[in-house]
């Protein structure tokens, strides 16, 4: 056996044998001199640490860096303000936002979930929005558009809706993803486009299932910063999606804060919630003493009595939005918002609907120590009966009873429970 092994070893090719039979694998290096030439001056040692920052950053460069930071922040602020103007006044933007809230709320009610997708920097924003939605029990899943076509499409169920992030509105990866998703799934897109007809992602899909959420920027990032890096565009997309998440949470749950704390028990937020405990009616109430009493304004002197214009002007100065007509008569913020039509401005207050101006005797008393959830359950139980639906309706003012037994604060019923518009419940 040993002789066979030795024979095998002798037959095995070796590098030395190869070198002897063939040319070297690399050219032969030249021989180094035995002694190095004499150096007159010693080579100075290289620094082991980088130079002090003060030696690099002079006053001029510091000022330039600060100016850059301020410019970027101001540009983002301007873009968000532009988006606010758009949502405040543009019918297309308003319709898109409201449709998006309704679609997501219905999707969750039907047991579906929100599929959120994007790629690149938009994908990073999409992941953040997924986390925010889930914090409010708005079931959401991030779907990477590339991974989707490699098997992850299976995460999409029958009742799910889609929310895509793309500034250009023509991201190839998202177009490829949509080609594999049936058109009956509602499609929501946050993009720079301001009209659905210009967004390529909607092509070939029914208009009734397409919802545009415009998030344009007034100045391109290249013009603003000299580089097309997603900065301002991702900021506007994030702000709009945060607004969407809060609006959907309020549509789904009477007290979104309770839902949020339930699903966010960790970290500083969770620790604070544990110290505070469940929210009580007294926590969300507005003290009556802090509500301003409307006064006659010089612009409404044509009428000797208080008018709707006087109420609106008082509401502008009211931190809470509540306004008192007298010591024991109050108007809630949601009711004040209905007084904006021009033909109503000269209406005397006493001619306004009874649901708008509510006297203290009509406030529904609830103890301040009651939790918001307890109040919600009580209202729902009372509304199961015909009598309860009569006095616990849209516009009802809840009078919050303090520890002394006095009604010292107020809450709108809509802050506790979601109600149908009053005309639906009228006898």
Q: How confident is the model at residue 267 (pLDDT cuts 50, 70, 90)?
A: low
* Residue 18 predicted with pLDDT over 90: no
How much of the chain is helix, strand and coil, in % rounded to 5?
Answer: 50, 10, 35
* Across 270-286, average pLDDT: 69
Q: How confident is the model at residue 52 (pLDDT cuts 50, 70, 90)?
A: low
Lowest mean pLDDT among 113-122, 291-300, 386-395: 291-300
Distance from C-alpha of 220 to C-alpha of 206, rounded to nearest angstrom: 31
* Distances from the Cα of 40 to the Cα of 34, 47, 144, 263, 380, angstroms: 19, 22, 64, 74, 96
Distance from C-alpha of 216 to C-alpha of 83, rounded to nearest angstrom: 7
* Residue 398 predicted with pLDDT over 50: yes
Distance from C-alpha of 199 to C-alpha of 214, rounded to nearest angstrom: 10
Spatial contact of 265 and 290, defined as CB atoms under 8 Å apart: no
* Lookup: tokens for 403: 């520890």
Q: How confident is the model at residue 6 (pLDDT cuts 50, 70, 90)?
A: very low
Distance from C-alpha of 398 to C-alpha of 390, rounded to nearest angstrom: 14
Q: What is the DSSP string of 250-316?
A: HHH-S-HHHHHHHH--SHHHHHHHHHH-S-BHHHH-EEGGGSPBP---GGGTTSSS-BHHHHHHHHH
* Residue 46 predicted with pLDDT over 90: no
Distance from C-alpha of 317 to C-alpha of 326, rounded to nearest angstrom: 16
Per-residue pLDDT tens digits for 72-104: 999 999 999 999 999 999 999 999 999 999 999
Spatial contact of 114 and 133, defined as CB atoms under 8 Å apart: yes
Lowest mean pLDDT among 23-27, 322-326, 328-332, 396-400: 23-27
pLDDT at 427: 33
Q: How confident is the model at residue 10 (pLDDT cuts 50, 70, 90)?
A: very low
Residue with tokens 């109420």: 311
Distance from C-alpha of 235 to C-alpha of 241, rounded to nearest angstrom: 10
Percent of the chain having pLDDT more than 90?
47
Distance from C-alpha of 290 to C-alpha of 346, rounded to nearest angstrom: 26
pTM of the model as a whole: 0.57
* Distances from the Cα of 165 to the Cα of 208, 263, 395, angstroms: 19, 25, 38
Per-residue pLDDT tens digits for 338-389: 776 666 677 787 767 656 888 898 999 999 989 888 898 888 888 888 877 7
Q: How far is CA 415 from the centre of its chain?
A: 20
């Amino acid at each position: 056996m040993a002789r066979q092994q030795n024979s095998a070893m002798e037959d095995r090719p070796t590098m030395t044998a190869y070198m002897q039979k063939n040319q070297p694998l690399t050219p032969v290096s030249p021989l180094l001199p035995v002694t190095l030439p004499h150096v007159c001056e010693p080579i100075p040692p290289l620094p082991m640490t980088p130079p002090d920052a003060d030696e690099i950053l002079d006053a001029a460069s510091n000022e330039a860096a600060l100016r850059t930071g301020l410019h970027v922040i101001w540009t983002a602020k301007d873009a968000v303000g532009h988006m606010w103007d758009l949502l405040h006044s543009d019918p297309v933007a308003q319709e898109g936002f409201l449709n998006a809230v309704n679609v997501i709320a219905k999707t969750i009610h039907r047991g579906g979930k929100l599929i959120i997708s994007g790629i690149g920097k938009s994908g990073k924003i999409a992941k953040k929005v997924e986390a925010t939605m889930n914090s409010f029990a708005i079931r959401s899943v991030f779907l990477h558009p590339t991974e989707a076509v490699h098997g992850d499409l299976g995460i999409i169920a029958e009742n799910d809706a889609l929310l895509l992030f793309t500034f250009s509105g023509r991201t190839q990866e998202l177009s490829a993803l949509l080609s594999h998703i049936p058109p009956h799934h509602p499609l929501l897109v946050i993009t720079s486009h301001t009209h659905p007809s210009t967004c390529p992602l909607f092509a070939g899909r029914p208009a009734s299932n397409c919802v545009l959420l415009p998030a344009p920027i007034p100045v391109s990032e290249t013009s603003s910063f000299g580089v097309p890096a997603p900065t301002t565009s991702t900021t506007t997309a994030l702000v709009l999606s945060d607004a969407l998440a809060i609006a959907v949470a309020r549509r789904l749950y009477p007290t979104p804060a309770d839902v949020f704390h339930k699903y966010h028990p960790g970290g500083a937020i969770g620790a604070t919630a544990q110290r505070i405990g469940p929210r009580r009616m007294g926590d969300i109430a507005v003290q009556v003493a802090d509500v301003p009493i409307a006064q006659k304004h010089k612009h409404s002197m044509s009428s000797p009595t208080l008018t709707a214009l006087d109420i609106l002007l008082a509401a502008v100065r009211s931190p809470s939005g509540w306004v008192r007509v007298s010591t024991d008569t109050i108007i809630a913020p949601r009711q004040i918002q209905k007084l904006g039509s021009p033909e109503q401005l000269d209406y005397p207050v006493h001619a306004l609907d009874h649901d708008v101006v509510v006297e203290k005797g009509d406030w529904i008393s609830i103890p301040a120590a009651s939790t918001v959830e307890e109040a919600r359950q009580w209202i729902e139980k009372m509304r199961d009966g015909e009598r309860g639906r009569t006095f616990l309706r849209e516009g009802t003012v809840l009078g919050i009873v303090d520890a002394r037994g006095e009604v010292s604060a107020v809450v709108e019923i809509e802050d506790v429970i979601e109600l149908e518009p009053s005309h639906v419940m009228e006898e």
